[in-house]
Amino acid sequence: MNDYGIRPTSLFGIILTEGTFPKLKDKFENFDKFEEDLDGNINRISIRGNSNIGPNGINETLNWDSWLISGVDIRMFYAESRDSDTSWTNCRW
């Protein structure tokens, strides 16, 4: 599994964890983005590139048995619940 950026021991903990599907245009980034509103409040607008995470985000369980998720970057899907520095490894591809 290290070939795909997943530590083998991480699989046991993430299969039933809920996450938020990223938008089609979202691209993975190794940092969060913040934006200041008109009142000077700082709001997080993206977690590691996933702009669907937040008050309007819908948490779901990833269906690992389906080919439909093949285009989903799981680093963004699990961005809110996993720390990317310790949960993931370098992908060989």
Q: Are 49 and 20 in contact (CB under 8 A)?
A: no
pTM comes to: 0.72
* Token representation of residue 25: 């245009």
* Token representation of residue 59: 């948490």
65 vs 1, higher pLDDT = 65
Q: What's the CA gap between 58 and 18, in Å, rounded?
A: 9
Radius of gyration of the chain (CA): 14
E strand or H helix at 74, and its extent?
A: helix 74-77
Per-residue pLDDT tens over the stretch 10-63: 777 777 888 889 988 998 888 888 888 888 888 888 888 888 887 777 888 888
Residue type, 70: S
